[in-house]
Every structure is written in structure tokens, then in C-alpha cells.
Amino acid sequence: MVSRILSKVAVALALIISGVFYGLGVAGIKPFTGFNLSWAATVILWAIGLALLVQAFTTKKEEIQLKKGFSWLGISFILGGALLIINAVIENGTRFYIPIIVLAIGLAALISTLVSFKKKWDQGDNQKEGYMNYYERKAALEKEKVEVEKEDNEE
């Protein structure tokens, strides 16, 4: 609960800070002139990505799919920020996209595995003790119905 609130506050602060820095850059104030829209979007994407990764690591251990989803989505946001930086810094940055995407996919797979390490999936009903399939349940109900009718006839 606390980590989700802190994550939301961190994302809100990143939005505010990047908006202020971008506004100062557009106004032409000396140290912020290099802070363009790509850098502002990168700060926002990274804040969202890190917030999602924190949620992935702090979510209950039973919610494996949610943990994996948060981790993959967080890495995707961080990847988007990295691609924006490459595009902003390097003149012909598009040639670096494929290796970075492959690296990010590998990193996301690793993090999603670490998030759900040694956590078992929920057991299906058919693996639980005393499980009866449809036909067995129907036969048991018929048997029970016959027994109830016998008891009613005996009385």
C-alpha cells in the first residue's frame, strides 16, 4: 500500500519537475536550454517505469501474473525513455534501436523471472485431493438422490 502511494507521488513529482525544466528550457534560461521535450518525456517514462518495477517487487507473492505484468510494463516504459534519449543525443540514433530493444527484452525477462522466483502457480481444482470430474459428480449426486429416496420410502 505504501509503495503504491510513494510510486504515484514519485510519478507526479517527475511530471512536475520535467514540466518545470521544459518550461525553463523553452524560456531560454541558460542551464535548461538543452532540456527539450525528449528529455522531459524520458524523465516521465523512467519515473513510471521505476514505479511499476517497485510495484512488481512489492506486490503479494501470490499474484504472479500481476508481478510479471508490472515488470514487463515497467521495462517497456524505461525502454521508451532510453530510445528517446538515443534519438535526442545521437544524430542517427535509429541504428541503435534493435540492439537496445533486444537488451531490454532480455532484461525484462530476467526481472520478471526474479520477481516470480520460487513462486508456484495456483493448483488447479483437478490437482486437489478429492477432485471429481463432471461425470463423477453427477454419479455421486444420483447415488445420493437414490439414498435419500430409499430413506424416504423406509419412513
Q: Taking the alpha carbons of 116, 119, 120, 122 in that order, is the dihedral positive or negative?
A: negative
d(CA 110, CA 75): 11
Instruction: Delimit the domains of the chain by residue range.
Output: 2-119, 123-155
Average pLDDT over residues 39-53: 87
Which residues are within 8 A (CB) of 11 and not within 5 positions of it... i.e. 6 or more apart?
Answer: 44, 47, 48, 51
pLDDT tens digits, 129-148: 777 888 888 998 998 888 88
Quick check: 1 pLDDT over 70? Answer: no
Quick check: 119 pLDDT over 60? Answer: no
Note the pTM of the prediction, 2 decimals.
0.62
In which band, very low, low, confident or very high, does the pLDDT at 117 lie, cut at 50, 70 and 90? Answer: low
d(CA 26, CA 17): 14
Quote the distance between the C-alpha of residue 42 and its chain's center. 19
